[in-house]
Structure 1
Amino acid sequence: MFRQPFVPARNSRHRVAALALYRALIKTGKKVPLPKDLQHPGPTHPIAHIVRKRFVKHKPLTSLRLVYNSMASGYKFLTLLTRGQTTGNPEHAQITQYLRQRNEESALSRSRAPPPSTRRHNPPLLTKISPPDAPPEYEPTVRPLPKTAFIGERKVPSVANTSGGQVFLRIKKPQPRVLSRAVSRRSDLFRKDLDALSDIVEENLGSADEEDRWESLMNKQLAAEGFQDKVPRDGTLESYRWSEQLSKSWVESQLDRRWSDWVARGKAVSELVEQERALAKKEARISRPFPDDPKATKAARETLDKILEEARQKEAARQEEAQTKKAFEDPFMAPLWVERVRGLEKRQTSQGQYRKGEKRPAEDFATKFPLDAFAALKATRR
């Protein structure tokens, strides 16, 4: 049997010793008096911050030599911090000198950092044009671009979709990471809703029925023994199954909303590709300028910048208007959800009445299955 390598982070004795040293360094370092120019504006002590960073850096070490050197250095610094609690000592001067030098190096590195990028983000590919309470509808923001906004041949984008049914547009290769992250995030949200719905249908509804049966048995036993429940009941709407039905309906509404949004986006993307393909077919007969022509390149760049700037201004105005009109809206008080809950309440109440022994109303088979239509269908088959 081979001897397993020693991993310090998995050894209980080493972990106890390392945590004890860490707590001692943090506690002792906070007691070192520092001048005002070395104190952080936040609640974290500078020495405690350095100790925490060093321990995080040395945590994955597996070499016995490096682990021994780290622990030995920790005990030496514990002695240094203990002696540095008294102002005027060489240890205190050494600590303040190191912190001051560290702050100067940090300020120098921040001054040499590159300035923030001035590149502005492009406007979104699609813009929602439907009212808030209407079915979603989208239209392209700036595409298809006119021929004067680019040099060379028009490249028609392609429509792609995930295994879950999400449609998106591939404009260039390789696919940008931003697009991949956005597609993955939306797919994950849709998958989480599906998993939640599956858990409710397969597990929670059955458990809720068992809980309701148990409550019914307990209430019958209390009534048989002469006790009366003092808690007011709300009929069938007090059951556990009703709460799970509400959860199921809410998840289904979220899935319907997300799916309708995907369908609207897919429709807009398909129309955009058809427009791009028609323009590419039309522009194939027109002579285009050479890509090396500097004047044509400059004119195309100016035209594209103008189109993008107008789209950015419209998007900024739309966002500002949405923020001014935006107020807190309770999603559980939305008209569609309230109407859906009322329908569920009627259905649940009627099912509860039938369980108590009331007879269901007789079905009107004459209206459900018209005899005239049945006779006409029978006559045609003859």
Structure 2
Amino acid sequence: MRRHLLFILGLLILLTLKTKPAAATGSLYDPGEPQSPTIRARYVCVPSLIWRNPELCPSYGPGTTAYRIASIRTPDPLPELPVLELPHDEDDKLVPHAYAYVRALPLNIYRHPMEAAMGLPPVRTMLSGDWWVSVGGLVEYEGQRWYQINKEEFVPADALALASPSRFQGVYLTEQPQHPFAWINRWVQPSVVPQGAINAGVEGLKRYQLVTIFAEERRGDEIWYLVGPDQWVEQKNVARVDVDPPLPEIGPGEKWIEVDLFEQTIAAYEGERMVYATLVSSGRTATATPPGLYRLWSKVREGKMSNPDVDDGAPAWYFIEDVPWTMYFHGGYSIHAAFWHDAFGFTRSHGCVNLAPRDALWFFNWADPFIAEDTDLIYIGGSTPNTWVWVHFTSRFE
């Protein structure tokens, strides 16, 4: 008897559960289609469901994200950036002089190699720190090679390491770009989707390669850019350039320079139009380039550079001879050529804005006021038109 009662009680419970009102649903198939699965409004959709009927799915969840990303398409055909890579002879002279790093310290400097052979005292001695010198010529005396670094100054050739200036150059823009663009900072293999599998069907992107950004996607703490069909790269691998409007202080048609410390890029504008863009190396954290809106106050065709707050010969001392194409914008901070490294797109300097030599020459010739070929330097003041410099930090993660 007890068994019959338990059986009847179980049936009543099952009937109660079956007749409980169901949650609101939406059909994934045409009405009347047999065995139609349903979407419950309180659940998220998996990718296979949202592809069939995206309008019935909520606007959140992994399925929705996957659907949205896969729906992003690059234009067909792909538009070309309106850029003109300026022609150069591969044998052209990148910088005004040959330069060299002093790799053997302390280093005695003699008036002539003969005086060193005779045991005469040096005219001066480089003690410690980082020294870069201009190399004027090579001579040989009693079987030993010597470099001349200044008038009546010679050092053994094996004490110097000749510099190989970067051949990188940015781009001249023939019209206003309609999409952001970027340079690849390090070799990277694009992914099919953000944070997804790599796209093995395309070539990897090389350092200094120029790409167009068609879309961006934030995934957690990461930002990804679409740079080609099914080609996503993470933000950390690129230096991005966007067209920005001039600040209110900048008058219509005036020339101005934008330095983006986050992206490590620089752009030249004439009014609202961007005319040139390239990579920079600004100051490292301990010697950061100061943000602000400035105006050029001096242009120097060639000049010596050092850190005046450090004693001559101290371990942190540096001295660089004949730095070409320098434009000062805030005290001792300047935009100038850097022949001693090829790390553009990354912070590197003691506070100045480093440019590859070809870029530095372009900016030097373009920026107001013009400086004649036979003029070494100019101080800018009064009513003389001079170019604005806007240094700022654009964080993509705010």
Larger helix proportion, structure 1 or 2? 1
> Which TM-score band (shorter chain)?
under 0.3
Higher RCO (Cα < 8 Å, 6 or more apart): 1
TM-score of the two chains, using structure 1 as the length reference: 0.19
Q: Which has the larger radius of gyration?
A: 1
